[in-house]
Amino acid sequence: MTRLAVFDCDGTLVDGQADVCWAMERAFTRAGLTPPDNHAVRRIVGLSLPAAVRSLAPALSDEQNRAVTEFYRSSYRARREEGLLDEPLYDGIAELLHTLHAGGWQLAVATGKSDRGLAACLASHGIAHLFTSLQTADRHPSKPHPAMLEAALFEAGALPEQAVMIGDTSFDMLMARSIGVAAIGVGWGYHGTPELIASGAAQVVETARDLAVALEETLP
């Protein structure tokens, strides 16, 4: 039987908030604009970059949005090339992924990261080979549009009822709900439990061990 677990990345697999906040502050500053506060930035993690900038500063012109977006990308890329990025896996995630993979689960990622950013992140932790499908903002509309999740289902040969979306934001839950995929929220990311439940999470777990149990209960 096909079982597919689709993971968000930032806030679910890895904790990259420090670098995201740093790059966003730098991008707004380089564009001559007042940077948003870090709490607001953490709220938009998971959206594709232009959508994130638009959410943070809806009054910006298209030209200003493009400038901030490009400054963010170049700043983040330079930080990665200098070896300064810090994107640690959350506790227990590596073990969970290896256990699921060994148990016959197919694994996928649906993220607002770029192809390059996701590849570098997974490679740095030695887990890229565990995933059947990698879907990013480079090739799809921003969450909560379901395009990334639909592509993951197609590549894994899975039906919506054979999949679970795991994420830390309402964007992930809404994406899953829109096409009938079960959704599990994680409590260690960027949106709170009430918001995740309201957006469609069947439950919210607090540890990787709890997530393993929840996945087996959802798709036994």
Catalytic residues: 8, 10
71 Cβ contact list (under 8 Å, min separation 6): 26, 27, 28, 30, 31
> First CA to last CA across the chain, in angstroms?
10
For the purposes of burial, counting CB atoms within 10 Å of the CB of 220, is it exposed (0-12), middle (13-18) or buried (19 or more)?
Answer: exposed
Question: Which pair of structure tokens corresponds to residue 143?
Answer: 């969450």
- Report the distance separating Cα 168 and Cα 219, nearest Å: 20
DSSP assignment letter at 127: -
- Type and span of the H or E element at 193: helix 193-198
Residue 203, beta-bridge partner list: 184
Phi, psi of 160 (to 5 degrees): -55, -40
Residue 108, beta-bridge partner list: 6, 133
Cα atoms in the 13 Å half-sphere on the side-chain side of 160: 14
For 19-39, b/e burial (b = at least 16 CB within 10 A) is bbbbbbbbbbeebebebbeee
